[in-house]
A = this chain, B = another copy of it.
Amino acid sequence: MKPTIRDVASYANVSISTVSRVMNAPETVAEEKRVKVLEAIEALQYQPNAFARGLIYKKSDTLGVMIPDIENPYYAGLIRGMQDAAVVLGHSLMICNTDRDKERTLAYVQSFFEKQVDGIVFASDSLHKEYYEEMQRLRLPYVLASTNAPEYEIPSVDIDDEQGAYEAVKHLIDSGHRRIGMICFPLDKTISGQPRYDGFARALREAGLNKFVSCVAYAEHRFEDAYEAASQLLARHPELTAVFAASDEFAMGLISYLRDRGRSVPEHVSVIGFDNIRMAHMFIPKLTTIEQPTYDIGYRCVCKLHELITTGEVEVLREKLPHRLIIRESTRRR
Contacts and interface: CB of A to CB of B under 8 A. Distances in A.
B62 A70 contact: no
A55 to B, nearest CB: 4
Given A47-B113, A51-B54, A93 B92 contact: no
Contacts of A49: 55, 116
B80 A71 contact: yes
Interface in A42-87: 45, 47-52, 54-55, 60, 62, 70-71, 73, 76-77, 79-80, 83
Contacts of A62: 94, 115
Contacts of A282: 223, 249, 252-253, 256, 279
Given A83-B70, A97-B83, A50 B115 contact: yes
A283 interface: yes
Interface residues on A, range: 35 or more
Contacts of A205: none
Given A114-B50, A282-B223, A97 B70 contact: no
A76 B71 contact: yes
Given A71-B278, A282-B253, A111 B94 contact: no
Interface in A282-306: 282-284
A76 B69 CA distance: 9
A172 interface: no
A60 B96 CA distance: 16
Contacts of A252: 282
Contacts of A83: 70, 96-97
A122 to B, nearest CB: 17
A114 B47 contact: yes
Contact of A55 (B52, B77, B80, B278): B52
A137 B71 contact: no
Contacts of A211: none
5 contacts: A47-B114, A50-B115, A92-B115, A93-B96, A256-B282
Interface of A: 45, 47-52, 54-55, 60, 62, 70-71, 73, 76-77, 79-80, 83, 92-97, 111, 113-116, 137, 223, 249, 252-253, 255-256, 259, 278-279, 282-284
Given A83-B97, A253-B282, 19 more contacts: A47-B113, A47-B114, A50-B54, A51-B51, A51-B54, A51-B116, A52-B55, A70-B76, A70-B83, A71-B76, A71-B77, A79-B97, A83-B96, A92-B115, A93-B96, A95-B95, A279-B282, A283-B284, A284-B284
Listed from nearest, the 10 A-B pairs whose CB atoms lie closest are A51-B54, A71-B76, A51-B55, A95-B95, A51-B51, A83-B97, A50-B115, A252-B282, A50-B114, A223-B282
